[in-house]
Amino acid sequence: MIKKEISTGTVHIMPADLRKAIASAPAAQAAWEDITSLARNEWICWVTSGKKMETRGIRIEKALSKLKGGMRRPCCWMGCPHRGK
């Protein structure tokens, strides 16, 4: 059973667009709830760090796809610069 509330990260607040996308994809939501709060933080930061709204939309779609495929953190990204703050 998928819960209605979506967990967030350690530093970043879950943005509404990412929350809605994850809630609409049960497999992605199950993966999201299975990863650590630090990993969720990485996904949130990766999605929100894009400078253009177009980039953000693309990253949300990629995040859903990657989560459904079992990826636990964004690939080929330096990581959240806010880690540990």
Q: What is the pLDDT of residues 54-81, one digit of tens each?
A: 999 999 999 999 999 999 999 877 778 7
Of 28 and 77, the one with more pLDDT: 28
pLDDT at residue 4, rounded to an integer: 67
Pick the more confident residue, 84 or 43: 43
- How far apart, in whole angstroms, are the C-alpha atoms of residue 64 and residue 31? 9
The domain spans of the chain are 26-68
Has residue 3 got a pLDDT over 90? no
18 burial type by CB count under 10 A (0-12 exposed, 13-18 middle, 19+ buried) = buried
Distance of alpha carbon 81 from its chain centroid, rounded? 15
- Kindly indicate the confidence band of residue 7, based on its pLDDT and cuts at 50, 70 and 90: confident
